Amino acid sequence: MARTRPLAAKLVVAGHVRVNGARVRAAGKAIKVGDVLTLSLEREARVLRVAGLGDRRGPFGEARLLYEDIAPRPTIPR
């Protein structure tokens, strides 16, 4: 959800990340499959379930397979 690791660490230190409902303050917090991450981003909140753990840092397409977005998306009335 962040473009770089330092930006992701800033989100954690600023208190914008929760794991299973508990606020995380250390960027090195270990997560496991099934954990639910809540991220308060600049313009939205994301709720994600960890579906897998990567063996390496890879492209977005691979990373996308490692989580499931479980927050309902708001619909725009037409």
pLDDT tens readout for residues 14-69: 999 999 999 998 988 899 999 999 999 888 889 999 999 988 888 888 888 999 99
Of the candidates 64, 69, 76, 27, the residue with the CA atom closest to the CA atom of residue 46: 69
What pLDDT was estimated at residue 76? 67
Residue 78 pLDDT more than 70? no
What pLDDT was estimated at residue 63? 86
What pLDDT was estimated at residue 42? 86
> Which domains can be identified in the chain, with CATH numbers?
5-69 (3.10.290.10)
What pLDDT was estimated at residue 36? 97
Contact yes or no for 54/43 (Cβ under 8 A): no
